[in-house]
């Protein structure tokens, strides 16, 4: 970062995306280390909220559905990342 070459080495210009990747990785570790509980994470998507200055294309209520899906599943997985109402790819 100090020499300004981070972009050419594949690093993003924002820590936001990296922090989301860390959440997904931590979820997978916690699920593996605690098989007796279900551990999942989710992304609500780009929602119209104060955080996005109301520019998001998704209603916040629709985004919240990603958080509701795993605990209401009959046999939920563990260690997964939910996005767009399904298990997401990362």
Three-state SS sequence of 37-64: CCCEEEECCCECCHHHCCCCCECHHHHH
In sequence order, which residues have a C-beta less than 8 Å from that of residue 81 and are 6 or more positions away? Answer: 24, 27, 40, 41, 42, 43, 87, 88, 90
Hey, which residues are catalytic here?
Answer: 16
């Amino acid at each position: 970062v100090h020499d300004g070459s981070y972009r050419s080495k594949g690093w993003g210009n924002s820590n936001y995306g990296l922090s989301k990747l860390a959440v997904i990785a931590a979820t997978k570790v916690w699920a593996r280390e605690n098989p007796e509980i279900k551990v999942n994470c989710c992304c609500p998507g780009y929602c119209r909220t104060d955080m996005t200055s109301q520019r998001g294309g998704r209603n916040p209520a629709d985004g919240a559905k990603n958080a509701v899906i795993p605990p209401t599943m009959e046999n939920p997985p563990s260690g997964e990342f939910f996005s767009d109402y399904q298990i997401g790819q990362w």
